[in-house]
Amino acid sequence: MGTVSFLLIMVILTALAFDFTNGFHDTANSMATSIATGALRPRVAVIVAGVLNLAGAFLSTEVAKTISGGIVNDAKVSLVMIFAGLVGALLWNLMTWLAGLPSSSSHALFGGLIGAVWVGAGSSAVQFGAIIEKIVIPAILSPIVACFVSLLATYFAYVITRRTAPGQARTGFRRGQIGSASLVALAHGTNDAQKTMGVITLALISAGLLPHNAGPPWWVVLSAGLAIALGTYTGGWRIIRTMGKGLTDIEAPQGFAAETSATTVILASTHMGFPLSTTQVCTGSILGAGLGRKLAKVRWGVAGRIALSWLLTLPAAAAVGGAAAWIADRGTAGVALVAATAAAAAAGFWALSRRRPVTSDNVNELPARQYGQTERTAA
Amino acid sequence: MGVQTMSTQAMTIHWSAFGSVFAVSLGITLLAVVLFSLGIAVWPGADSAGGGQLRTANRSLAMVAAVLCFGACLAVAAYGLVLIIGV
């Protein structure tokens, strides 16, 4: 029988904190365009997304059987490395949230783990082939596929309804958007909450508190579901603003086309054996919706910043994860030091965000300073 | 930790699986968006109210067509829901 160590408790707490940031990072994926087009009021949108994420967490029984899915040699992953990897992912999530950039929480987690395992067990434990296959290639292909699908869908939506009264078209597409956005949120809950459940369950197994191949205990399912739902409800307003208003100007037909494309691409990829990355798919589909409407303005500067953040996700999270693993490996004091530093950094990010707060009230307003003076021209 | 052992694996990119995902995504999305847009386009709007018997018949026909379109979209969405829940 294993014992509950300080490290194990820190792993569980950090995993839940990561799950929380995962939630508010990804609210934008399902709800940004619905909020931008007025299909749902901001507060209502995050409640819907939160509830559906919670439902999704309970719906799916498919919990990850490995921490990394083969990105690193799972046999060499220790509790300290999981902890350090989670810290790296958590801090990268907070940093990109502060910058309002939709980066992938899964990639951040993989990055953190890669760094921690590299430092803790050497580069031979990192499967570089698998990284290319399972992270880099999907990250490149996801936005391209979603962008193309959404571009065509947007084009057809506008062509077909060009003689329809604008008010009627807007109302219709807004209603459709609520449905497609809800599907994205539900699919997200079945995927992302499982990741945290998997991490905690594997940590409990490695500490000897659960038998091998055990499923997640009920309190793990409940706490992981609640953490991601609460995070979602908190609403990552900064990222929602970037995706709903910053990247391009979204009208109701575009929002519907983007959400439908994102849902279909995510479901097709999950069920046809070529996993794509949700955040990249959702961002790509919004970009496609921008390109598919005549006269719509795509802010390539914003798109470029997002792409840069995707490029940096793995190395940045890996660097933090590696440093955290090195310090946490010194024993309980090291673990405590890493945890305290992470908590301080998180508080710092939060304090910085208070300088220019983005809330449900101003999520649909773009600050001219940040996005240039021209955005109001393309209404 | 030793929960699962992974052998070193060569990089394999399943282009055929990717092609299928691309094709299916494109097909289903276009089907759903086109049907939904058609439903909106043929839905008899308030501004076209009034007129004779022929007009009323047209309106009913348009309504049936729109409902069929939306129904088909709902079926696609229901299938998506089954995929999310049923696995």
Q: How many domains does chain A have?
A: 1
CA-nearest residue to A127 within chain B is B8
The Cα A82–Cα A113 span in angstroms is 6
CA-nearest residue to B84 within chain A is A187
Q: Is residue A118 part of a domain?
A: yes
Q: Phi first, then psi: give them for residue B50, nearest 5 degrees.
A: 90, 180
- Nearest residue, CB atoms, B6 vs list A73, A190, A260: A73
Instruction: List the domain range (segments joined by +) for residue A350.
Output: 6-360
Which pLDDT band holds residue B1 (cuts at 50, 70, 90)?
very low
Query: Could you tell me if A372 and A47 are in contact, meaning their C-beta atoms sit under 8 angstroms apart?
Result: no
Place of tokens 């820190």: A10
The per-residue pLDDT for B52 is 64
Closest approach of B7 to chain A, Cα-based (Å):
8
Query: Could you tell me if A277 and B53 are in contact, meaning their C-beta atoms sit under 8 angstroms apart?
Result: no
Q: Is residue A29 part of a domain?
A: yes
The per-residue pLDDT for A377 is 40
The Cα A239–Cα A241 span in angstroms is 5
The per-residue pLDDT for B51 is 54
Which pLDDT band holds residue B68 (cuts at 50, 70, 90)?
very high
Query: Could you tell me if A279 and A103 are in contact, meaning their C-beta atoms sit under 8 angstroms apart?
Result: yes
Contact call for B40 and A169, based on CB within 8 A = yes
The Cα A110–Cα A128 span in angstroms is 12
Contact call for A265 and B29, based on CB within 8 A = yes
Query: Could you tell me if A342 and A219 are in contact, meaning their C-beta atoms sit under 8 angstroms apart?
Result: no
The Cα A231–Cα A262 span in angstroms is 21
Largest CA distance in chain A: 71
Closest approach of A8 to chain B, Cα-based (Å):
13
The Cα A287–Cα A254 span in angstroms is 10
Contact call for A130 and B9, based on CB within 8 A = yes
Q: Is residue A1 part of a domain?
A: no
Residues whose CB is less than 8 angstroms from the CB of residue A178 and which lie 6 or more positions away in sequence, other chains included: A34, A39, A40, A48
Q: Where are the alpha helices (DSSP H) in A207-251?
A: 218-234, 237-241
Q: What is the DSSP letter of A76?
A: G
Stronger pLDDT, A331 or B7, i.e. the higher one: A331
The per-residue pLDDT for B3 is 39
Q: Is residue A368 part of a domain?
A: no
Q: Is residue A79 part of a domain?
A: yes
Contact call for A267 and B6, based on CB within 8 A = no
Residue A215 to residues A22, A151, A208, A249, Cα–Cα distance (Å): 22, 41, 14, 45
Place of tokens 């749902």: A40
Each domain of chain B, given as residue ranges in start order, spans 32-86
Bridge-partner residues for A72, per DSSP?
A: A126
- Reading the block at residue A6, the tokens are 């300080």
Contact call for A274 and B32, based on CB within 8 A = no
Whether chain B has a CB inside 8 Å of the CB on A71: the answer is: no
The per-residue pLDDT for B43 is 85
Query: Packing angle between helix A278-292 and helix A137-160, nearest 10 degrees?
Result: 40
- Reading the block at residue B63, the tokens are 């309504």
Per-residue pLDDT in tens (0 to 9) along chain A, 379 residues? 466 789 999 999 999 999 999 998 989 988 999 999 999 999 999 999 999 988 888 887 666 666 677 788 878 888 999 999 999 999 999 999 999 999 999 899 999 999 999 999 999 989 888 888 888 888 899 999 999 999 999 999 999 998 888 888 899 999 999 999 999 888 888 878 888 888 898 888 888 888 877 888 889 989 999 999 999 998 789 999 999 999 998 999 999 999 999 999 998 988 887 878 889 999 999 999 999 988 778 899 999 999 999 999 999 999 999 999 999 998 899 999 999 999 999 999 999 988 888 888 888 887 765 555 444 444 3
- Reference A200, options A344, A379, A61, A11; nearest CA is A11
Length of chain B: 87
The Cα A231–Cα A269 span in angstroms is 25
The Cα A379–Cα A251 span in angstroms is 9
Q: Is residue A375 part of a domain?
A: no
Helix (H, G, I), strand (E, B) or coil at A208: coil
First to last CA, chain B: 29
Q: What DSSP string describes B19-59?
A: HHHHHHHHHHHHHHHHHHHHHHHHS--GGG----HHHHHHH
Q: Is residue A169 part of a domain?
A: yes
Q: Is residue A369 part of a domain?
A: no
Rounded percentage of chain B residues whose pLDDT exceeds 70:
75
Query: Could you tell me if A111 and A90 are in contact, meaning their C-beta atoms sit under 8 angstroms apart?
Result: no
Length of chain A: 379
